Structure 1
Amino acid sequence: MKDKHSYSENEKQAIYKVMAERRDVRHFNNKSIDKALMARVLRAGHMAPSVGLMQPWRFIRISDTALRKNIAGIVEKERQLTAEALGERKSEFLSLKVEGILQCAELIVAALPNKREQHIFGRRTLPDMDLASLSCAIQNIWLASRAEGIGMGWVSLFNPDELMELLHMPSGSLPIAILCFGHVDSFYEKPMLVMEKWAEELPLENMLSENTWPEYSE
């Protein structure tokens, strides 16, 4: 029997569809994003749940071309360092397109604010719950972007200290993600890292156990 609080079948299918078709996008075309559309997407992030209602998300829109190029330089530096750390997979990694900072229509830096230690509710034993809350906001933005037909890519290859200095961020704050937004010619059929054979997705059963931590046989 259908629960009285359940959405209609069409509404539910739309929700599951946008989750299934969300992609980490690296390829964008040259079309600009309407300001009202971008505002809707960011408002979706602001609707996210947060521990103690602390709303620990700060979004910095990067509109200066020189600043965007400097951010791209920070990412490229970390890309090279990551490649070195990967050892025998170095050349394979360098062949991947891991960001679209200079190609995207909109660039947003998502960060945690300073003075977070003042928020104790829900964080006394789990202080990283503010990061979890920001992650929920980013996921909301991602899903809203896909629903609107906009590609979004999450870039995490950067040195936080260098990005903080570049953006004049206060001590105690922390940049978490560089988010690239733009129109696309098409969305990837599968996650790009699967298509590039970098990794394979594991089934839910591998991550699910009951009552105790699972014991996997090698």
Structure 2
Amino acid sequence: MSQHRFNEQERIGVYRAIAERRDMRHFLPDPIEPELLARLLLAAHQAGSVGLMQPWRFIRITDKQLRTRIHDLVEQERRLTAIALKQRQDEFMQLKVEGILDCGELLVVALPDRREQHIFGRRTLPEMDLASAACAIQNIWLAARAEGLGMGWVSLFDPNSLAELLAMPEGSKPIAILCLGHVAEFYPKPMLEMENWISPQPLSAMVSENSWGNDA
């Protein structure tokens, strides 16, 4: 047993946050305290990153008109996604896919410009900037759950249109719209599973040994 192990109560808290994290779509309008938001952003900023490049940028959306315009971009992509889904179009349009107009805080996460300057760890895998930023997003998600807040990751938007709307520099790229806020309750299981959109696969289907598909 490692001497660096957390105590039992701390370990239970970590695993509970992981197990009960949900991609939330339903929010209460209550604001988030500034100190709490600061803690969540600090948790994000403490994420690991390849080559310590820290490829995350956070844009806090406080302008109500801007929030509405972001919602319009998402709605436009939602309809295009529905068309692309063909036979599941009507079913998809019944899903609630975001809470942009309802949540207490809205954040846009973006990759910065001039990322090509970071070579360490990215020479053969340049997409590690995105992977590193995803770690920061996951940190917010888990910290938010521990604080009793819900978070939803929205990816239904055209990145070029959102970048233009937010006056982002050339070479940067928005990768996520995060809805953060108080919730009446957390979903008992993933919402898409509850809505019978998809069933999650077991861990055993994801793990192999020594070669692809060789059961561990």
Alignment TM-score, normalising by the size of structure 1 = 0.97
Tell me the residue number matched to 1:159: 158
Tell me the residue number matched to 1:105: 104
Tell me the residue number matched to 1:184: 183
CA distance in 2, matches of 1:43, 1:192: 28
Aligned residues: CA RMSD? 0.9
Contact 2:208 2:214 in 1 (8 A): no
CA distance in 1, matches of 2:4, 2:20: 25
Tell me the residue number matched to 1:129: 128
How many Å apart are 1:202 and its aligned residue?
A: 0.6
CA distance in 1, matches of 2:159, 2:179: 17
Which one-letter code corresponds to 2:21 in the other structure? R
CA distance in 2, matches of 1:164, 1:47: 25
CA distance in 1, matches of 2:2, 2:125: 34
In the alignment, is residue 168 of structure 1 matched against residue 167 of structure 2?
A: yes
CA distance in 2, matches of 1:215, 1:75: 40
Identity %: 63
Detail structure 1 runs of 4+ shifted over 4 Å in the superposition.
none
How many Å apart are 1:4 and its aligned residue?
A: 1.1
CA distance in 2, matches of 1:159, 1:74: 7
Report 1:1-218 matches (<5 A): 2-214=1-213
Deviations 1:120-140 (A, max 9, x none): 000000000010000000000
SS at match of 1:48: coil
How many Å apart are 1:215 and its aligned residue?
A: 6.3
SS at match of 2:180: strand
SS at match of 2:161: helix
CA distance in 1, matches of 2:108, 2:52: 21
Which one-letter code corresponds to 1:98 in the other structure? V
Which one-letter code corresponds to 1:121 in the other structure? F
SS at match of 2:73: helix
CA distance in 1, matches of 2:30, 2:118: 41
SS at match of 1:29: coil
Which one-letter code corresponds to 1:53 in the other structure? L
How many Å apart are 1:3 and its aligned residue?
A: 2.0
CA distance in 2, matches of 1:200, 1:213: 23
For structure 1, the residue ranges without an aligned partner over 5 or more in a row are none
CA distance in 2, matches of 1:142, 1:160: 22
Deviations 1:167-209 (A, max 9, x none): 0011110000000011001010001001101011111100100
CA distance in 2, matches of 1:30, 1:125: 44
> Cα–Cα, structure 1 residues 215 and 6, in superposed 2: closer, same or farther, change >3 Å?
closer
Deviations 1:107-161 (A, max 9, x none): 0000000000000000000000010000000000000000000110000000000
SS at match of 1:71: helix
Alignment TM-score, normalising by the size of structure 2 = 0.98
Aligned residues: 215
SS at match of 2:130: helix
Which one-letter code corresponds to 2:138 in the other structure? Q
Which one-letter code corresponds to 2:155 in the other structure? S
For structure 2, the residue ranges without an aligned partner over 5 or more in a row are none
